[in-house]
Chains A and B, each alone.
Chain A
Amino acid sequence: MFEKYPKEHRYTLAMLQDLQKEYGYIPKEKLLELSQYLDIPLSKLYSMATFYKALSLKPKGRYIIKVCDGTACHIRSSKSLLDEIENSLGIKPGETTKDGKFSLEVVNCLGSCAIAPVMVINDRYYGKLTSSKVREILREYGGAGDE
């Protein structure tokens, strides 16, 4: 999957993002492969993979729930959405449910402030949320209370 990019240093980030998209995280052996393909020290790739928030070294769930904590969401009580999800799924931000179904993340502003507070599940946006709406949405995904 690296071949579509020339062996140039400047495509490092793009290639790391492709790995992230393909596997949902960046597996160690792929990072090693990339290091060889681009002839870049592994330490440099590791540094990038831990610096950029879009990249993760840990596997993530099938559904990635991103709760926006941008300012507009923050002052419209995004914290209560987070509490609701934490209680329903039993995970904290940065964690994944044991069955590998959900990952929870807190993100900084998704640029949808007009419909704050907002959360995104995979690519689907949900706006003007309340704790009870969140509960309903999680139920649609077969999350809350199933396990």
Chain B
Amino acid sequence: MKITIDGIFCEAEKGEMLLQIARRNNIYIPTLCHSDALPGLGTCRLCVVEILDRGRKGVVASCIYPVKNEIEVFTHSDKIKSIRRNLLMLLYARTPQDETIDSLRKEYHVPDNIRFSGDKDEHCILCGLCVRACQELGTSAISTVNRGITKKVSTPYDEPSTQCIGCGSCAYLCPTNAIKIEEINGVRTIWNKEFRLVRCTRCGKPFATKEQLEYNRKKLGEDHVELLCESCKKAVTGEKLRDIYERV
């Protein structure tokens, strides 16, 4: 079926998410809690758009809105811009020192002298991507804790989790750099837990935790995985390919 987004005709499949369709057609919609690797969470609300469906207007979160009819979509109407401005003001109030939020704030012309103040060390916007990623991995070391305005993300009892493998996926996906991950002298510290890093057999650089490699081994069922860091893995693959081409 066909829908229009900001006046542009876009091909869409029934049930496809609006955000996906927009991105495919190079139409910009800002997001924070979205990752292509995971199903939409709909928590940051920045991706809201206005739709016109059979004569009825509405505001929906495009990352989780499945297209059912041939609708018209407006991604930057005055109403949407004003909603995003307020959302960014709220996020800026929560995380006054965060760079990601600050640049979005500037993009939407939210002044920096707002009425509210927040903790300058706070970077987490509680989008939940980290929790979801950890859950999808099958480790579930972290979760949301409490509810309402006291909600936060942590390990149970704020203690080092037995489940955590120190893979850092949570920190990697975090849109605002809220999860601290430190590597000093071959030791990685994340969520109050320390992990000894294993060295790459090719370049000698510490690259992954023992628990992480153990987890991969179990999950993939491979007994002999070469212990290579990401860049060496690429290099080795490149060498192999070159060998093949040379032979050809």
CB atoms of A and B under 8 A apart anywhere in the complex? Answer: yes
User: Measuring CB to CB, which residues of chain A are less than 8 angstroms from any residue of chain B?
Assistant: 28, 31, 41-47, 50-51
Q: CB-CB < 8 A to B139: which residues of A?
A: 41
Q: Is the CB of B156 within 8 A of A51?
A: no
User: 9 more A-B contacts (CB under 8 A) besides A28-B157, A41-B143?
Assistant: A31-B156, A41-B141, A42-B162, A42-B163, A43-B141, A43-B143, A46-B143, A46-B157, A47-B145
CA distance A45 to B155 in the complex (A): 11
What's the Cα separation between A45 and B145 when bound, in Å?
10
Tell me, yes or no, whether B147 is within 8 Å of chain A by CB: yes
B144 in the interface, Cβ–Cβ < 8 Å?
Answer: yes
In the complex the two chains form, is B146's CB within 8 Å of A43's CB?
Answer: no
Per-residue interface assignment for chain B, residues 111 to 151, with 1 indicating a CB less than 8 Å from any chain A CB and 0 otherwise: 00000000000000000000000000001111111110000
Q: Is B177 at the interface (CB under 8 A from chain A)?
A: no
Contact among A28, A41, A50 for B140, CB-based, below 8 A: A41
Q: Shortest distance in angstroms between B107's beta carbon and chain A's nearest beta carbon?
A: 34
Are A42 and B156 within 8 A (Cβ)? yes
Summarize B's interface: helix, strand, loop or mixed: loop
Greatest chain A CB density within 10 A among B143, B145, B161, B163 is at B143
Interface residue count on the B side (C-beta < 8 Å): 15
CA distance A47 to B157 in the complex (A): 10
Q: Measured between alpha carbons, how far is A41 from B143 in the docked complex, in Å?
A: 10
Among all A-B residue pairs, the 7 with the closest Cβ atoms: A41-B140, A43-B143, A47-B143, A46-B156, A50-B145, A50-B146, A42-B156
Which chain A positions have C-beta within 8 A of B161?
A: 42-43
Q: A50-B145, A50-B146, A51-B146 are in contact. Are A43 and B155 (CB under 8 A)?
A: yes
Give per-residue flags for B162-197: 1 if the beta carbon is below 8 A from chain A beta carbons, else 0. 110000000000000000000000000000000000
Q: Do A43 and B140 have beta carbons less than 8 Å apart?
A: yes
Considering the chains assembled together, what is the distance between the CA atoms of A51 and B141 in angstroms? 17
Q: How far is the CA of A43 from the CA of B143 in the complex (A)?
A: 6
Whether B140 lies near A44 (C-beta < 8 A) is yes
Tell me the complex Cα distance, A53–B155, Å: 20
Q: Are A41 and B163 in contact (CB under 8 A)?
A: yes
Those of B37-91 within 8 Å (CB) of chain A: none
What A residues does B144 contact at CB under 8 A? 47, 51
Q: Which residues of B contact A44 (CB under 8 A)?
A: 140, 143
Q: How far is the CA of A45 from the CA of B163 in the complex (A)?
A: 14
CA of A76 to CA of B21, assembled, Å: 54
User: Which residue in chain A gives the minimum CB-CB distance to B138?
Assistant: A41
